[in-house]
Every structure is written in C-alpha cells, then in structure tokens.
Structure 1
Amino acid sequence: MSPPALPAALSETFERYSTDVSRRLLQIRSLIFNTAANTPGVGVLTETLKWGEAAYLTAASGSGTTIRLGTPKSAPDCCAVFVNCQTTLISDFRSHFADDFIFEGNRALIIPARAPLPEGPLVLCLRAALTYHLHKKQKAKAAVIKA
C-alpha cells in the first residue's frame, strides 16, 4: 500500500530538512502508514502538524499514541521518531532494541539519515505506538477479569 498524498503543509515541513533527512523521514512516514494498514484495530490515521512537525494520530480508533517525525536538537543530521513521553514506549524500545537505535530520554528514538534503516525493529516500534492504548485497555480488562 502506498501512503496517501502528502498534504501541502506537511510537504513544506519536510522540505525544510536536508535532502538526506527529508528522504529518511518520508521513508518512515511510509512505514507508519503501511504498519497502520497492516495492524488490526488501528484504522485510518490522521496526518497533521504538531509543534511544526509531522504527526500521526489514531483519532478514528483511539488505539495508539501520537507519533511525530522530526530531528532531535542534539543531532539535526539525524531523524527522530517522537512519542508521548508519558508512555513506557521508549523504555520498552530501549530494552528490546538497544543495538538498533539511539534514544533521547523517554521521548524519541534517533535514526541516522544516511545509515541503513533498521526497518524490522522500527516497524515493531511503530506498531507498539499505534496500538499503545489498545494494549492498555486489554491489560486493564484482563486485570478486572482476574479480580
């Protein structure tokens, strides 16, 4: 599946990055849409701008947390996949994919623009973000059943 056409406002956002960073961010954007399309319960994504960066929301289903794409202040020649810092996602990613990504606090995984893309691990991280609330609800339901 191909991602939808890039909205004009987002096109301008991607154009402000270097060619390498923009190309990599667009690759990640495509992975986000493909992962959403192939993950049950996610549904249609809303693509918008948040804090001047491309953001992907599961507004229709409420299944996941927002994913934002940009660059980290500490490494503007790299790409960042940001998630809500109140989630456990980055901690979980760090414990499973420490050799695949660089991490920034509890808010982002950093991906070099010119190195090979760790597509397999990244898809797993994206799927976890896109289903974060869905899994929280399932865990809560299981806890109630056990009680």
Structure 2
Amino acid sequence: MKYPFASDKVAGVFAAFPKTERQMALALRDLIFEVAETTPEVGQLEETLKWGQPSYLTPETKSGSTLRIGLAKGGGAAIFAHCGTDIISTYAASFADMDQIEGNRAVVFHSADDIVPARLRLLVHHGLTYHTRKATSASV
C-alpha cells in the first residue's frame, strides 16, 4: 500500500465497507493523497475519522476544508465536502452532468468506472486549498 493508514480505526472503517465500495473508497483515498503530495501549499495531510468517516485535513497549513470518504445513502461510495463551501458546486458546474452530485455535499460513485481521476483532481485540489484560495480572492 502506497499510503499507510494513519490508524487501525481508519483502516477498520475501510475494511468494513462492502468490497465494491471499499475498492472505490480506496481509489478516492489514493487520489486525495496524490493531490496533496503534488500541491505544496497543502502541507502535511492528516487522515482521521469525523462522523465515522475517513477524513482528510490540512492542519499544518490550514489551506483546505475537510474532505471525507464514505458510503452514499443510495449505494456506492462518495466523496463529501463541507456543505457550507462551494467545493462540490464548483466541481459540478465545471463538469455538468458528468457525475452524480448530491446537492452541495457529495459526489457519488456507483462503479469504479465512475471515478475519473483527471476530473476528480480538480475537486480534491479545490477542497485541499479551499481556505487559501478564499483568502487570496478576498484580498484582491
């Protein structure tokens, strides 16, 4: 595994997902770590649990808003962002009708083919740099 789990508790949540959803969730997790690695302003990424879901924070730089991975209510896996941000809506506007969007809080995936890293990198980057970008646009 390229990115070891931060704790046994986080690993246990992934292990408890049904097989198909676990594979999708692990692909989303890898993508979050890959984007963080290639985005210097993110700093050290923290993996923890929030609301029982694997969550990804930027405590060192405070550059981003929390991204979470979990099971979607209607089935499948999802990546969640704080509903008070424009992370999901910006992504949805950029890629209209290409993914299943749940309001302003999640993008849902029903199969591994639904996860398109080239598109999702924008969503993850937007989430991990959310506060930095908001601060920059406010000062302009």
With normalisation by structure 1, the TM-score equals: 0.89
| Higher mean C-alpha displacement, 24-33 vs 106-115 | 106-115
- Partner of 1:68, secondary structure, is strand
Is the 8 Å Cα contact of residues 13 and 53 (structure 2) preserved in structure 1?
Answer: yes
> Aligned-residue CA RMSD in angstroms?
1.5
Distance in 2 (alpha carbons) for counterparts of 1:141 and 1:114:
40
1:115 to 113, 118, 124: 113
Distance in 2 (alpha carbons) for counterparts of 1:47 and 1:113:
24
Shift of 1:24: 1.0
Query: Identity over the aligned pairs, expressed in percent?
Result: 36
* Structure 2 residue aligned with 1:70: 70
The count of residues paired between Structure 1 and Structure 2 equals 140
Shift of 1:13: 0.3
* Structure 2 residue aligned with 1:80: 78
Shift of 1:40: 2.5
Runs of 5+ consecutive residues of structure 2 not aligned to the other structure: none
- Partner of 2:47, secondary structure, is strand
* Structure 1 residue aligned with 2:45: 45
Distance in 1 (alpha carbons) for counterparts of 2:58 and 2:45:
5
* Structure 1 residue aligned with 2:23: 23
* Structure 2 residue aligned with 1:56: 56
Is the 8 Å Cα contact of residues 3 and 34 (structure 1) preserved in structure 2?
Answer: no
Distance in 2 (alpha carbons) for counterparts of 1:138 and 1:68:
24
* Structure 2 residue aligned with 1:126: 124
Shift of 1:8: 0.7
Cα 1:112/1:35, change in 2 over 3 Å: same
